[in-house]
Structure 1
Amino acid sequence: MKKIFAAVTALAMGAAGMAAAHDFGFAGVLSNTNKGEMPGITLALGKPLADGPITLNSGMVYELEIYADGSGELALEGSGFFRAIWINEVVVNGLEIRPFGLESVEFDEEGTMEIEFLAIKPGRYFLKIPGSNGESQRVDINIE
């Protein structure tokens, strides 16, 4: 019995040492091979949020970069879109926030925010500046 225990312990120690020698990184949906590209959004008075609609693939990880130029207090809302994604993190000034969900974000001054998320629910969604009705103050997002 002692010989079996010693053999199992030696195997476990060898496997642990082998795993420590390799940097495997993330697996599955957060792996580097599962990342898609997404155009950024700019918040500026009188300027379009983005060029045309954005198409994403369900099951892919994206990073949305939102830049505000400081020309006014501007927000971005889109509860349908925020409910169709799983948010991994929101980064503001190097600070990482891991929220359960979002309804909207707001910029009181110039700055950049990055939202890393997993697109989940296929459908047609939008992000827009609250209270605006102009087509350029809204960006349509399709998750396929």
Structure 2
Amino acid sequence: MKRIACALVACTIAAPAAAHDFGFAGILSNTNQGEDLPTFVLGSGKPVTDGPITLESGKVYEIEIEADGTAELALEGPGFFRNIWVNEVVINGLEIRPYGLESVEFDQAGTMEIEFIAIKPGQYFLRIPGSTGDAQRVDITIR
């Protein structure tokens, strides 16, 4: 038993320092913020956003989505949403901490913010469901 305790103490002492010192807030600290993303716009006949977008795995990002109310529109991206960790969704000042998302929908004008951490590298997209135009979709790469 003494040997095990000594081995654990030795491993703890000999463990190398973490590669990142994120501070009190951990991975969500200000030192881990990715660059600002363009605002996503949901409006009848309007492009969603300028793209493509490149994200870095492990960084914190926030997408702001604005709907102008011209149509009932959604934004889907199951592959993207399954490969990020959603910290919170804010709608009209109300914070929601979901287990996961597959899509979001606006029945009227409003703004939504989604704060997330990019996790799994790959090629993904967000688009207006059923749309075929390039302006109704944004390609997202997590590297």
TM category (shorter chain) comes to 0.7 to 0.9
Look up the SS of the partner of 2:31 in the other structure. Answer: helix
- Encode CA deviations 1:39-98: one digit per residue, 9 max, x unaligned: 121001111101120111000000110000111000000000000100000000000000
**Partner of residue 49, structure 1:** 48
Equivalent residues, number: 120
Cα distance, 1:38 vs structure 2: 1.4
Gaps of 5+ in 1: 1-24
For 2:127 and 2:80, locate their aligned partners in 1 and report how far apart those are by CA, in whole Å: 11
For 2:51 and 2:142, locate their aligned partners in 1 and report how far apart those are by CA, in whole Å: 15
Matching residue's letter, 1:115: I
**Partner of residue 83, structure 2:** 84
**Partner of residue 30, structure 2:** 32
**Partner of residue 4, structure 1:** none
**Partner of residue 73, structure 1:** 72
- Encode CA deviations 1:91-111: one digit per residue, 9 max, x unaligned: 000000000000100000000
**Partner of residue 18, structure 1:** none
TM-score, normalization by structure 2: 0.82
TM-score, normalization by structure 1: 0.81
Structure of greater Rg:
1
